[in-house]
Amino acid sequence: MKLMVLYDSKTGNTKRMAEVIAEGMKRIPDTQVKVCSIADMDEIWASESSCIVLGTPTYLSSVSAAVKNWLDGPCRKCRPAGKLGGAFATEDYLHGGGDLAVRLILDHMMVYGMLTYSGGGAFGKPVIHLGPVALSSQLDASVETFLTYGERMAAKAAELFNRGSESVNH
């Protein structure tokens, strides 16, 4: 099962957390994960992926301009309808709007027909209601949460798309 973690990153923080999510995804057997920036997206891999998780740095309590532009059209190259989607963010300040940035991504994903998921509080701690957010000055403190999030996303994708078939047509 193919999974993709996409991101926009100016300082490397969002890229680093994308890589952590991918490591969590790899905990689930039979997963292949690709991590790349939205600028360098592998369109074939993205269109074949069962799950796409998108990350953004937070600017003015929202997504970066590159993520917003990508969501407004180029994301259609991923053939998003029917895929599992998730979102994460990095921010410089506590309460800097990372949760709002995550929500904007999830809203767009739903408009494109994606199934959004985070695990919520169903699995206990760490509770990840919408998607994880990491403070840029404390990335290490968020690693376990981001690993768990990646694992939960991959497990849900396996549950949804690997049941009774070896391949998924989107």
Residue, of 87 and 167, whose pLDDT is higher: 87
Distance (Å, rounded) from C-alpha 30 to C-alpha 33? 10
β-pairing, 32-37 vs 51-57, is unpaired
Share of the chain above pLDDT 90, in %: 88
Which pLDDT tens digit goes with each residue over 113-124? 999 999 888 888
β-pairing, 2-7 vs 133-135, is unpaired
Cβ pair 149, 119 in contact under 8 A: yes
Predicted TM-score (pTM) of this structure: 0.93
Distance (Å, rounded) from C-alpha 86 to C-alpha 142? 17
Cβ pair 37, 79 in contact under 8 A: no
Give the domains, in start order, of the chain with CATH numbers.
Answer: 2-161 (3.40.50.360)
Which pLDDT tens digit goes with each residue over 37-89? 999 999 999 999 999 999 999 999 999 999 999 999 999 999 999 999 999 99
Q: Is the pLDDT of residue 170 over 50?
A: no
Closest by Cα among 70, 148, 59 to 101:
59
Q: 3-state secondary structure string, 15-31?
A: HHHHHHHHHHHCCCCCC
